Every structure is written in C-alpha cells, then in structure tokens.
C-alpha cells in the first residue's frame, strides 16, 4: 500500500481512454463502476472537448456482483456497437473490474462483433496512465496494421508517420502543427498521425510510411518498436523540443529521408537564439533551475536550460520510472542529482533543499513553487485547463523554442528591471514587498498566511542573534529576491568556518566564497 496525496499519473485505463478519445471511429467499452465515469470530465472540462469521450462504462453495482456482471458487460458492448457503429472497439477493465475477473477479451471475442476488437490487459495495481496509453496504442497498431508493399522511393516523396500525440497531452495539438511544418519544409509527406486524429482505417495503412517520428516516447515508443521489427520502419526518437534538439531532429529526418535539411534548418521564424544572446538576457546566466516532469519534457528542458539559456540545472527529475535510465543519464550530463519519484512531497522537499531561482515543472510543482515563493513555468503533464490555451502554443520546433523562451523567462524578474529594483530600493515610495510590476500573475508576493520556511524568515523576527545589527542592515540592502539566498549562504558559510558572529566581514567573505 502506498500513501498518496496527489498523483502525477492516473490509472492505466485513463491512458487507454486518452488514446480512444484521440482517435476517430474508435470506441472503448470499459468494465467499470459508476464512479469511474469521472474521467470523462478530464476531456470535456480540462481539454474543453466538445464531445463525450467515446467510452461506454458498464457501471456495475454491488447488487450485480452476486449475479452476472459478465452479461452486463456483453450487453454494454452490444449496445455500444449498435449505437456508435465504431470501426474498431477497445475493450478492457478498470481497477475494480480487474478484480472480478470477467475477462472482457474472451467475452467480446465470443460475441462475433462486426468490427475488430482490441482487448486490453492493463494491470491497474502495477501500472499507470502513460504505460496504459502506450500499451493501448501498441495493441491497436498490432491488431489493425496491415502489411503493405511500399512503392520504390524513386517514384514518390518520402513518407513518415508521426507517433505519440494523444488526447490530454501537453501541447500535443500544437506540436503536431510544428512537426508537420518541418516535415513539409523537408518535402517529407505525412502518412498517418496517430493516435491523435487517426481512424482505425488510418492505422491499417500505417505500414505505408518509410519511417516513424516518435514525438512522445511515453506514448508512442512501444508501437514504434514493434513497427521497427514487424514492418521494418526505422524510428526517429529525437524529441524536437529546443533549438538544438530541433536542429538535430531536422538533420535526422533529412538523413532518413535522404533529403537536404537546409530548407527546414533555415527557418527565419527562429527567434530564440537571438533573444537568448541579446544583452538583456545576460542576467539569466547561471540562474539555478530545478526541473521536474515527465522524462521526455524534463530531459529536453534540461538541455534548453543548460545550452540555450545558460542556466544551471540544480535538480532534474521525472515521475515515470519507465524512463528512469534516460533521466539518470541526462542528470549526469548536467551535473544534477537525479530524482525519480511519484511522491510530490519528496519533490517539494527536493525543491526546498535545492533553493532554485526558477522551477520548471508540472502543475504540481507550480503549486509547490507558489508556496515556496519561487517563480515557476509549467513544462509537462499532468495537465490543467491552463495547459490548453486558445492560442497556438507549441513546445516543439523553432516556434516551440520561441514559446519556451517567453514562458520560462517571463516569471523571472526581467534583466533591466532587476537593476532598477536595486536602484530604487531605498526610495521611500518603493517597497520591497511590492516585487516587480509584471510578476503578480506568475508568482504573487508571498501571502501573509502562508507559513514561511524557517530559513526565509525576515531578520527582525527571526532567531538570528548571530547577525550583528550592522550586517543585518547590510543584508537588507540586497535585493529582496536574492536576499533569502544570501542569508542562507552566509549562515552556511559562517557555520562552516566556525564564525560565531556574522558581521560585515563574514557577509562579504561569504559573498566572495559563493561568487560565481
């Protein structure tokens, strides 16, 4: 048993729902009690979908348990097939139905249905949402994909599938647009995008492509691995998030398709490199950033942070253990401690410990950052209604990198503003507590009722007798957004060097010690 307050991932059948909902012409009959129907609202409310997910629930009750829940399941299948006439049907059980062992696969097979049936075995007590999505998509591809003879490459353009985009995905809708744009610039035609927007008929001809582009390995890679083996379709696994990764992705696709990468590389809409090199960004140098999310988004974020914004990655983690190895490798590369956990309290403790200047995380870390009074940007699922903006807001491709620059930098105090704050700090009209003018939307000044971590308590009230009055005054002259760190560093330095009293000398010795 595991004590859990908030979860990063839902159960695996929610992953299957995400795949079913992403597709057209698909229906999913889920053997589940009534409470499980809550999952519909994830799609209709968070993603604002204008149609119900194509899911029929059997909603068995306690009184059905002694009788025939299997018959109830078959009735639900019959009704769903008759009413929705799907091109293909997914069947499976949620956690409760798994325990009553009705065997949806066998039951639906015995029914002689007029459409292909994809039985799903998703062990609810072992696995989670992403795994459920990947397994469901793989089963769909495996059941429906038909072997095809590809035309010779001389007679046509290169052909690719885009695998992984899904319902309830973090910016998947917009990422697909950007990746399609890249492929179009390279003269590569898109055969099938799946599961998002694909019909069972599309899956059937998935083998026509020369190769696959896997955008979200959490969802698409299991199917891609099978297609590699069964259909001899190579997969490109570079996730084009960030300028460098996008360039790598373009070169890999160009090489695979045997085309010139230049048309896609020379995208004059790529503003991020100059935004990062322009002098106003100088102050970003060495900002300590803590990154947590799904492995794909966290790892790509670490590269952007380190190589493209000049941040220092002070923490890197993911909640999906399936990708722990990749994440550990990335953490090693950026010199950060890897954190692989789905316990948000452990993440909170790690963030507090790392004392970053910016948190890049999920909605969960956004709340953590808010409590700790840290700026934060969201980079990954689990999703929130805010993660489905009305505007085009990709993460992938050059435009995605532009979006990321804005999203990550805006929560920070802007370069010039940082200097002005320091300049005006002593003016009587100016209050430290006011913070920067543009920040309220992202990280409002710490509300009075939120408990402040002990090491952040302001000097007047705290038990900091080791500080001389003069040093305290000097500390107050340091801009408020770095003052907490200066205090911590100085105190750490003082205790490390056995200085009983923190005076001006200690303060400036510590400053020199921690200078970067």
CB-wise, 62 or 469, nearer to other proteins?
A: 62
Instruction: Render 200-254 in DSSP notation, one character per residue.
Output: HHHHHTGGGSSEEEES-HHHHHHHHHHHHHHH---EE----BSHHHHHHHHHHHH
Q: How many residues does the chain have?
A: 516
* Minimum CB–partner distance for residue 7 and other proteins (Å): 5
Residue listed under structure tokens 């009722």: 449
Q: Does 149 bind other proteins (CB under 8 A)?
A: no
CB-wise, 144 or 378, nearer to other proteins?
A: 378
* Minimum CB–partner distance for residue 233 and other proteins (Å): 33
* Marked catalytic residue, from 280, 406, 460, 509: 280
The stretch near other proteins (CB under 8 A) out of 95-103, 109-117, 302-310, 328-336 is: 95-103
Return the residue of 74, 108, 124, 380 that touches other proteins, per CB under 8 A: 124
**In which order are the strands placed within the sheet that holds 189-194?**
189-194, 159-163, 211-214, 235-236
The first and second tokens of residue 356, run together, are: 């970053």
The first and second tokens of residue 159, run together, are: 């052909």
CB-wise, 42 or 330, nearer to other proteins?
A: 42
CB-wise, 129 or 175, nearer to other proteins?
A: 129
Q: Does 44 bind other proteins (CB under 8 A)?
A: yes
* Minimum CB–partner distance for residue 376 and other proteins (Å): 13
Question: By the 8 A CB rule, do 422 and 436 touch?
Answer: no
Spatial neighbors of 427 by CB under 8 A, at least 6 apart, are none
Report how far residue 33's alpha carbon sits from residue 96's, in angstroms, rounded to the nearest whole number. Answer: 7
Of 236, 175, 167, which Cα lies nearest the Cα of 16? 167
Tell me the number of residues near other proteins by CB under 8 A.
Answer: 57
CB-wise, 151 or 440, nearer to other proteins?
A: 440
The greatest distance separating any two alpha carbons of the chain, rounded to the nearest whole angstrom, comes to: 86
The stretch near other proteins (CB under 8 A) out of 17-25, 31-39, 351-359, 392-400 is: 31-39
Return the residue of 67, 71, 85, 99 that touches other proteins, per CB under 8 A: 99
Q: Does 243 bind other proteins (CB under 8 A)?
A: no
What character string, x for contact with other proteins (CB under 8 A) and - otherwise, covers 328-367?
-----------------x-----------------xx--x
Q: Does 71 bind other proteins (CB under 8 A)?
A: no
Return the residue of 24, 371, 476, 511 that touches other proteins, per CB under 8 A: 371
CB-wise, 149 or 390, nearer to other proteins?
A: 390
**In which order are the strands placed within the sheet that holds 338-340?**
338-340, 312-318, 288-293, 358-361, 376-378
Q: Does 39 bind other proteins (CB under 8 A)?
A: yes
Question: By the 8 A CB rule, do 361 and 333 touch?
Answer: no
What character string, x for contact with other proteins (CB under 8 A) and - otherwise, covers 285-314?
------------------------------
The first and second tokens of residue 389, run together, are: 């903006």
Spatial neighbors of 304 by CB under 8 A, at least 6 apart, are 241, 242, 243, 244, 245, 401, 404
Q: Does 85 bind other proteins (CB under 8 A)?
A: no
The stretch near other proteins (CB under 8 A) out of 37-45, 141-149, 189-197, 265-273 is: 37-45
Of 411, 414, 409, which Cα lies nearest the Cα of 271? 409
Q: Exposure of 420 by Cβ count < 10 A (0-12 exposed, 13-18 middle, 19+ buried)?
A: middle
Question: By the 8 A CB rule, do 141 and 223 touch?
Answer: yes
Return the residue of 15, 18, 20, 36 that touches other proteins, per CB under 8 A: 36
Q: Does 9 bind other proteins (CB under 8 A)?
A: yes
| Residue 260 bears catalytic tag | no
Question: By the 8 A CB rule, do 224 and 214 touch?
Answer: yes
Q: Does 45 bind other proteins (CB under 8 A)?
A: yes
Q: Does 143 bind other proteins (CB under 8 A)?
A: no
* Minimum CB–partner distance for residue 45 and other proteins (Å): 5
Instruction: Identify the three-state secondary structure at position 483.
Output: helix
Instruction: Identify the three-state secondary structure at position 489.
Output: helix
CB-wise, 24 or 499, nearer to other proteins?
A: 24
The stretch near other proteins (CB under 8 A) out of 117-125, 144-152, 159-167, 495-503 is: 117-125
Active site residues: 280
Residue ranges that bind other proteins, judged by CB under 8 A: 1-7, 9-11, 13-14, 33-45, 48-52, 56-62, 65, 76, 79, 83, 94-96, 99-100, 123-126, 128, 345, 363-364, 367, 371, 384
């Amino acid at each position: 048993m595991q004590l859990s307050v908030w979860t990063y991932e839902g159960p695996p059948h929610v992953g299957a729902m995400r795949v079913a909902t992403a597709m057209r012409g698909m229906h999913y009959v889920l053997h589940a009690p009534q409470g499980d129907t809550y999952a519909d609202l994830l799609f209709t409310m968070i993603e604002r979908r204008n149609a119900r997910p194509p899911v029929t629930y059997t909603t068995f009750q306690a009184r059905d348990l002694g009788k025939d829940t299997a018959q109830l399941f078959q009735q639900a299948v019959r009704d769903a097939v008759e009413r929705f006439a799907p091109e293909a049907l997914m069947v499976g059980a949620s956690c409760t139905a798994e325990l009553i062992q009705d065997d949806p696969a066998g039951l639906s097979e015995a029914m002689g249905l007029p459409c292909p049936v994809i039985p799903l075995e998703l062990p609810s007590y072992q696995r989670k949402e992403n795994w459920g999505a990947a397994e469901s998509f793989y089963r769909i591809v495996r059941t429906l994909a038909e072997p095809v003879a590809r035309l010779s490459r001389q007679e046509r353009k290169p052909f690719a599938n885009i695998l992984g985009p899904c319902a309830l995905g973090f910016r998947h809708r917009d990422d697909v647009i950007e990746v399609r744009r890249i492929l179009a610039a390279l003269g590569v035609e898109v055969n099938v995008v799946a599961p998002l927007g694909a019909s069972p008929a599309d899956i059937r001809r998935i083998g026509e492509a020369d190769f696959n582009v896997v955008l979200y390995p959490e969802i698409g890679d299991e199917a891609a691995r099978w297609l590699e083996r069964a259909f001899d379709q190579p997969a490109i696994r570079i996730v084009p998030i960030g300028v460098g990764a996008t360039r790598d992705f373009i070169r890999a696709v160009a090489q695979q398709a045997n085309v010139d990468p230049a048309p896609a590389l020379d995208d004059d809409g790529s503003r991020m490199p100059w935004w990062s090199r322009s002098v106003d960004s100088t102050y970003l140098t060495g900002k300590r950033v803590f990154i947590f999310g799904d492995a794909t988004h966290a790892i790509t974020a670490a590269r952007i942070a380190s190589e493209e914004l000049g941040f220092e990655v002070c923490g890197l983690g993911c909640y999906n253990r399936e990708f722990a190895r990749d994440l550990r490798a990335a953490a090693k590369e950026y010199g950060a401690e890897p954190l692989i956990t789905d316990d948000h309290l452990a993440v909170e403790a790690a963030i507090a410990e790392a004392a970053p200047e910016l948190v890049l995380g999920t909605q969960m870390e956004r709340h953590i950052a808010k409590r700790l009074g840290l700026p934060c940007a969201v980079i990954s699922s689990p999703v929130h209604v805010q993660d489905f903006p009305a505007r085009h807001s990709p993460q992938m491709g050059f435009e995605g990198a532009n979006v990321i620059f804005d999203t990550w930098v805006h929560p920070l105090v802007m370069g010039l503003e940082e200097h002005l704050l320091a300049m005006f700090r002593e003016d009587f009209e100016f209050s430290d507590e006011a913070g920067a003018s543009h920040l309220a939307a992202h990280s409002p000044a710490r509300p009075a009722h939120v408990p402040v971590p002990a090491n952040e308590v302001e000097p007047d009230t705290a038990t900091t007798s080791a500080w001389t009055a003069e040093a305290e005054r000097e500390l107050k002259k340091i801009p408020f957004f770095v003052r907490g760190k200066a205090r911590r560093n100085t105190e750490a330095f003082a205790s490390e060097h056995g200085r009983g009293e923190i005076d001006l000398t200690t303060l400036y010795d510590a400053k020199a010690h921690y200078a970067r």
